Amino acid sequence: MDGVPLSTEYSIPRMPLHPVNEAGLTVYTVSMVVLSIALFIWWAVSSERREHGFLLPLAMLGGGLAALQEPILDILVLVYYPVTDYLVAFKAFGRNVPWMAPIGYMWYVGGLPYLVYRLMCKGMGGKQLWWVFVGVIVIDCVAITAAFVWTGVGGFYGNQPFDIWGYPFWWAGIDGAQPLMGGLVLYWLVPRLERGWHKALAALVMPPLTLGATSGAVVWPVALALNTDQPPLMMHIGGAATFALGCILVWVCVFLSEIESKSRA
């Protein structure tokens, strides 16, 4: 069937080509570095290092490694970065991934789950985690808005459902649920591991695994809608389904945290 064009029914939106905003990319990358360093300093000077070892730095390193999934997600949900060699960490699937992504992943995909884990250790759990979910969504909304709207270093494209000002709200179903799932995994797993290197390995691999599990579990409705020629109603149904699946994952985290907390009482 070489040379036979696909029907427009299966058309995939083309990624837009925009010139790189080098000043904006530099500022945003530096801000990601500052946030990651601040989280590391808090670990170093507080009681976290003495009481919990190197779990946080390892989780942050795992968060950076999780950024290797970025080009796959970008293709599925139609995210673009400018085609440039400026501050590019790596290229895959025809996409550039700037350094701001793995550095930002360090504190978001690795650091936030660790903080959720520590909150659980201090007694937060059950329905209180819904407020954590809301807080994480606010953080994500500010971070995405700063990158894609204020500094213009990338963005979503295509007929994005629930696009408020450059932040499609369905995205919160992924980025809001992942830190809670990551925190729950650490909360359940760390006390059950006897050897220190087992705990270190768990902290390192948790971010890539929970990001892949979360995104794979919830992204497919909106990805299917975005990558076919669907009417606006179907686009919004796909976006709503993705956000709803993210909420179901959070409900699972809430339910399991209650069970785990009761078992420790």
Helix (H) or strand (E) holding 118: helix 112-121
Report the SS3 class of residue 223: helix
Q: How many whole angstroms separate alpha carbon 28 and alpha carbon 22?
A: 10
What is the per-residue pLDDT for 17?
Answer: 81
How confident is the prediction for the chain on average, in pLDDT? 91
Residue 2 has pLDDT above 70, yes or no: no
Q: How many whole angstroms separate alpha carbon 14 and alpha carbon 75?
A: 10
Q: How many whole angstroms separate alpha carbon 156 and alpha carbon 71?
A: 13
In the predicted model, what is the mean pLDDT of residues 135-149? Answer: 94
Residue 205 has pLDDT above 90, yes or no: yes
Contact yes or no for 44/189 (Cβ under 8 A):
no
Contact yes or no for 99/34 (Cβ under 8 A):
no
Residue 4 has pLDDT above 60, yes or no: no
What is the per-residue pLDDT for 8?
Answer: 52
Type of residue at 68? L
What is the per-residue pLDDT for 59?
Answer: 97
pLDDT band at 11; cut points 50, 70, 90? low
In the predicted model, what is the mean pLDDT of residues 168-194? Answer: 94
Helix (H) or strand (E) holding 57: helix 55-66
Which residue in 180, 169, 78, 79 sits closest to 127, CA to CA?
180
Listed by start position, the domains of the chain span 16-264
- Outline where 149-219 has alpha helix (H): 172-175, 177-189, 196-218
Which residue in 165, 144, 146 sits closest to 79, CA to CA?
144
What is the per-residue pLDDT for 1?
Answer: 43
Q: Burial of 7 by CB count in 10 Å (0-12 exposed, 13-18 middle, 19+ buried)?
A: exposed
Which residue in 31, 13, 14 sits closest to 153, CA to CA?
31
In the predicted model, what is the mean pLDDT of residues 6-23? Answer: 74
| 44-93: pLDDT as tens digits | 999 999 889 999 999 999 999 999 999 999 999 999 998 888 999 999 99
In this structure, how many other beta carbons lie within 10 angstroms of the beta carbon of residue 125? 23
Report the SS3 class of residue 92: strand
Contact yes or no for 129/117 (Cβ under 8 A):
no
In the predicted model, what is the mean pLDDT of residues 140-148? Answer: 94
What is the per-residue pLDDT for 9?
Answer: 53
Which residue in 95, 79, 96, 99 sits closest to 87, CA to CA?
99
**The pair of three-digit structure tokens given for residue 160, joined into one six-digit string:** 């994005």
**The pair of three-digit structure tokens given for residue 97, joined into one six-digit string:** 């991934």
In the predicted model, what is the mean pLDDT of residues 82-106? Answer: 92
